[in-house]
Chain A
Amino acid sequence: DTEVTQTPKHLVMGMTNKKSLKCEQHMGHRAMYWYKQKAKKPPELMFVYSYEKLSINESVPSRFSPECPNSSLLNLHLHALQPEDSALYLCASSQVGTASGTDTQYFGPGTRLTVL
């Protein structure tokens, strides 16, 4: 099973709302990632968890709060977002989080977020 699942598929929220994005994988991967992707642009790395610990935060605003409850789950909590935060949010996982010859990141289908 090489599947990463994400819920919800679509999310519309107001600037005062609090919502969460969820990601799950059952491949035994110990590294999980959040990316933000705007239309016609490549994904931008937001956060990396390695062995359930936050290892990389790419200077993401505090209105985005990641959480890794266990090795299979990754959440992204959203609060007081801005319209410019509207994008496709992608979750990915990989076998290891350190340098490796064939460490492939497997991506989920994404959550399309619209902030009104």
Chain B
Amino acid sequence: KNQVEQSPQSLIILEGKNCTLQCNYTVSPFSNLRWYKQDTGRGPVSLTIMTFSENTKSNGRYTATLDADTKQSSLHITASQLSDSASYICVVSPYSSASKIIFGSGTRLSIRP
């Protein structure tokens, strides 16, 4: 069964600190993996997208990694800011259907001053 699991469910860190969010997936065959940021009550915004051959992708203070062998991905946030408080969702596309993407349950990140 195609699944995406994220950890931790929630995380609280102090402003300026770094953090890493985890994503494990069992989606096969694999097409690509994306990380989205979703503010409360708003639509998800794409941060990074990686295909099978990519190991790392950066977008400002966000760096995503992908290990296609172990089917794991991480999102590292550097020098966190209050505006980083949001849910971060890992989304995997099976190669058979880019329409039916598989969502993880998300990590709710809170940045405290």
Q: Knowing A31-B99, A101-B51 touch, does A42 contact B45 (C-beta < 8 A)?
A: no
Contact A56–B99 (Cβ < 8 Å)? yes
Query: Which chain B residues border A114 with CB–CB below 8 Å?
Result: none
Query: Which chain B residues border A104 with CB–CB below 8 Å?
Result: 34, 46, 49
Q: Knowing A99-B31, A99-B95, A110-B41 touch, does A45 contact B100 (C-beta < 8 A)?
A: yes
Residue-wise, chain A 50-70 has the 8 Å CB interface mask toward B (1 for contact) of: 100001100000000000000
Judge whether B101 is part of the interface by a CB distance below 8 angstroms.
Answer: yes
Contact B43–A107 (Cβ < 8 Å)? yes
Query: Which chain A residues border B44 with CB–CB below 8 Å?
Result: 43, 90, 107
Contact A101–B32 (Cβ < 8 Å)? yes
The winner among B43, B46, B49, B106 for most chain A CB atoms within 10 A is B43
Q: Knowing A102-B32, A104-B46, A109-B42 touch, does A56 contact B103 (C-beta < 8 A)?
A: no
Query: Which chain A residues border B34 with CB–CB below 8 Å?
Result: 104
Number of interface residues of A (CB under 8 A): 33
Query: Which chain A residues border B108 with CB–CB below 8 Å?
Result: 40
Q: Please, which residue of chain A has its CB at the minimum distance from the CB of B97?
A: A99
A4 to B46, CA, bound (A): 13
A105 to B36, CA, bound (A): 10
Query: Which chain A residues border B105 with CB–CB below 8 Å?
Result: 41-42
Q: Which are the 8 A-B pairs with shortest beta-carbon distances? A: A42-B103, A107-B43, A103-B98, A48-B99, A107-B44, A109-B43, A110-B43, A101-B51
Listed in ascending order, the chain B residues whose CB lies under 8 Å from chain A are 31-32, 34, 36, 41-46, 49, 51, 89, 93, 95-101, 103-106, 108
A-B contact sample (19 more), CB < 8 A, given A99-B98, A103-B93 = A6-B43, A33-B99, A42-B104, A45-B99, A45-B101, A56-B99, A56-B100, A88-B41, A97-B99, A98-B98, A98-B99, A100-B31, A101-B31, A101-B51, A102-B51, A107-B45, A110-B41, A110-B42, A112-B41
> What are 14 sample pairs from A and B whose C-beta atoms fall under 8 A apart?
A41-B105, A42-B103, A45-B101, A56-B100, A88-B41, A96-B98, A98-B97, A98-B98, A99-B31, A99-B96, A100-B98, A101-B31, A104-B49, A110-B42
